[in-house]
């Protein structure tokens, strides 16, 4: 609640225009959400023409593909200009909200905890299973266990608008990969909490992002940029070394490894300002939550 009124939500959905049926199903699941409070939904076409959308859903056709963080920033700005929601919800265009009380639970979570800045949904496949990479905790963790975390899932999350106002937009220059971690570290450093909620589910097809060479290059480049932007200087080499060793241990295909190293050295070579290291108190806080920013 805000001054006794239900929290208003703004929903941002990005699309490349290649999933029209899935997009329609997602929008219907958003429309079916129960509870009080306004819900304003905007769909942004990443340099593509949008299909016909349901009544009440705003359509924005971007002149080009801005990447995931750039597209989200455009969606947030549209909501600022037209709806001014209390909370922004970001959902993948091929996802689906299987329950009708998801938004009501989300409102309750933010209303009950003023320090809660970000909520990460649980992403589950058609059989209800959650891939390990979709659990924002280190190590082998129960996907059905909710709790405080240090990052969140890009395809299904909610951010309190004052957090965005305080820490800024997603890093558009990242284009793809790790923009959530960049944002999460800034939010944690500003004192906000991030919670993973296993009861807030987005159903999503099982995928493997590593099938693309671009995945390896941008993942590596953005890891380096993330460290250069936000880690205290002594932790930068530790973080980059740990991720290099982790990547080698996973034994990616030679083409993927070549792209990874290309991205790694690109990140070292190319600046990505601004540099605003998080506080050592934030490092300790992340460590207590089970994920120190060196792994």
Per-residue pLDDT for 2 more than 60?
no
CATH topology classification for 9-203: Spore Coat Polysaccharide Biosynthesis Protein SpsA; Chain A (3.90.550)
Give the pLDDT of residue 210.
59
pLDDT at 213: 76
CA distance 97 to 41: 14
* DSSP 3-state of 66: coil
Q: What percent of the chain has pLDDT over 90?
A: 84
* Residues written for the chain: 295
Percent over 70 (pLDDT), the chain: 97
Sign of CA dihedral 176, 230, 249, 145: negative
Domain with CATH 3.90.550.10 in the chain: 9-203
pTM beyond 0.85: the answer is: yes
When the pLDDT of each residue in the chain is averaged and rounded to a whole number, the result is 94
> Which residue, 160, 82, 163, 156, is CA-closest to 120?
156
Tell the burial category of 73 from Cβ atoms under 10 Å away from its Cβ (0-12, 13-18, 19+).
buried
Q: What angle do CA 1, 155, 224 make, to 5 degrees?
A: 115
Say which residues have a Cβ less than 8 Å from residue 174's Cβ, sequence separation at least 6.
67, 69, 182, 218, 222, 225
Q: Read off the pLDDT band of 209 (50, 70, 90).
A: low
The residues pairing with 123 across neighbouring beta strands, listed in sequence order, are 202
Is there a contact between 86 and 160 (Cβ–Cβ < 8 Å)? yes
CB 110 within 8 A of CB 119: yes
Q: For 255-284, what is the mean pLDDT?
A: 95
Q: What is the mean pLDDT of residues 228-245?
A: 96
Question: Per residue in 195-230, is it b (16+ CB within 10 Å) or e — as a string?
Answer: bbbbebbbbbeeeeeeeebebbbbbbbbbbbbbbbb
Tokens 């951010």, residue located: 159
Angle CA 179–184–82, to nearest 5: 75
Highest mean pLDDT among 144-148, 180-184, 214-218, 256-260: 180-184
Q: How confident is the model at residue 211 (pLDDT cuts 50, 70, 90)?
A: low
Report the range of poorest mean pLDDT among 9-18, 140-149, 238-247, 277-286: 140-149
pLDDT: which is higher, 267 or 5: 267
């Amino acid at each position: 609640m805000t001054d006794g009124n239900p929290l208003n939500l703004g929903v941002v959905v990005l699309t490349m225009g290649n999933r029209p049926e899935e997009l329609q199903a997602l929008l219907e699941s958003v429309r079916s959400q129960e509870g009080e409070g306004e819900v304003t939904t905007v769909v942004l076409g990443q340099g593509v023409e949008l299909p016909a959308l349901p009544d009440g859903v705003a359509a924005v056709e971007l002149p080009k593909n801005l990447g995931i963080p750039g597209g989200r920033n455009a969606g947030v700005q549209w909501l600022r200009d037209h709806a001014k929601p209390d909370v922004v919800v970001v959902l993948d265009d091929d996802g689906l909200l299987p329950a009708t009380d998801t938004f009501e639970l989300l409102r309750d979570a933010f209303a009950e905890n003023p320090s809660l800045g970000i909520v990460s949904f649980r992403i589950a496949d058609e059989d209800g299973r959650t891939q390990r990479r979709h659990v924002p905790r280190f190590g082998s963790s129960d996907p059905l266990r909710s709790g405080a975390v240090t990052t969140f899932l890009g395809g299904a999350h909610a951010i309190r608008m004052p957090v965005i106002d305080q820490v800024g937009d997603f890093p558009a220059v990242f284009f793809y990969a790790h923009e959530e971690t960049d944002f999460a570290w800034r939010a944690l450093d500003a004192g906000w909490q991030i919670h993973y909620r296993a009861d807030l589910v987005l159903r999503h097809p099982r995928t493997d992002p590593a099938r693309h060479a671009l995945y390896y290059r941008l993942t590596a480049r953005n890891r380096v940029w993330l460290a250069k932007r936000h880690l205290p200087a002594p932790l930068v080499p530790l973080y980059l070394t740990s991720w290099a060793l982790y990547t080698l241990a996973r034994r990616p295909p030679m083409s993927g490894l070549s792209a990874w190293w290309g991205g790694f050295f690109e990140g070292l070579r190319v600046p990505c300002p601004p540099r605003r290291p998080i506080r050592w108190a934030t490092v300790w806080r992340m460590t207590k939550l089970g994920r120190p920013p060196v792994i």
